[in-house]
Homo-oligomer: A and B are copies of this chain.
Amino acid sequence: MADFIIGIDGGGTSCRAAVADPQGTVLGRGKSGAANILTDPNHAIASITEAAEAAFRDAGIAHEEIANAHAFLGLAGTNVGNLAQYVRERLPFRHTDIDSDGLIALQGAIGDAEGSVAILGTGTIFMARRAGKVHYIGGWGFMIGDLGGGARLGQALLQEALLVHDGIHPRSAVTDAILTEFKHDPTAMVEFARLSKPGDFGRYAPLVFQHAEQMDPGALALIETAARSVNEALDAVTKIGGTERLCLLGGLAPLYPVWLEPRHRAILVEPQSDALTGAVALAANRFRTRTGGAAT
Tally of chain A residues near chain B (CB < 8 A) = 34
Q: A80 touches which one: B145, B155, B190 (CB < 8 A)?
A: B190
Is residue A117 within 8 Å, beta carbon to beta carbon, of the partner chain? Answer: no
Across the interface, do B187 and A166 meet the contact criterion of CB distance under 8 Å? no
In the bound complex, CA of A114 to CA of B281 (Å): 70
Smallest distance from the beta carbon of A135 to chain B beta carbons, Å? Answer: 10
Contact with B along A32-59 (1 / 0, CB 8 A): 0000001000000000000000000000
Taken together as a complex, chains A and B put the C-alpha atoms of A38 and B186 apart, in Å, by 14
- Proximity bits, A226-243, B CB within 8 Å = 1, else 0: 000000110110010000
Count this chain's copies in the assembly: 2
Question: Which chain B residues lie closer than 8 Å to A186 at the CB level?
Answer: 79, 140
Contact B190 A144 (CB under 8 A): yes
Complex partner residue of A155 from B144, B191, B236, CB under 8 angstroms: B144
Which of B159, B167, B232, B235 lies in contact with A236, CB distance below 8 A? B167
Indicate if the CB atoms of B147 and A159 lie closer than 8 Å. Answer: yes
Docked-complex contact A145 and B162, CB < 8 angstroms: yes
Would you call A215 an interface residue if the criterion is a C-beta within 8 Å of the partner chain's C-beta atoms? no
**A144 with B189, Cβ < 8 A, contacts A38-B194, A137-B168, A167-B137 known:** yes
Among residues of B, the one whose C-beta sits closest to the C-beta of A156 is B144
23 A-B pairs in the complex with CB atoms less than 8 angstroms apart? A80-B187, A80-B190, A81-B191, A137-B166, A137-B167, A137-B168, A140-B189, A141-B190, A141-B193, A141-B194, A143-B155, A143-B193, A143-B194, A143-B196, A144-B159, A144-B162, A144-B190, A145-B162, A145-B190, A147-B163, A166-B233, A168-B235, A168-B236
Interface pairs A-B: 10 shortest CB-CB? A143-B193, A144-B159, A144-B158, A144-B193, A137-B166, A168-B236, A167-B236, A80-B187, A80-B190, A168-B232
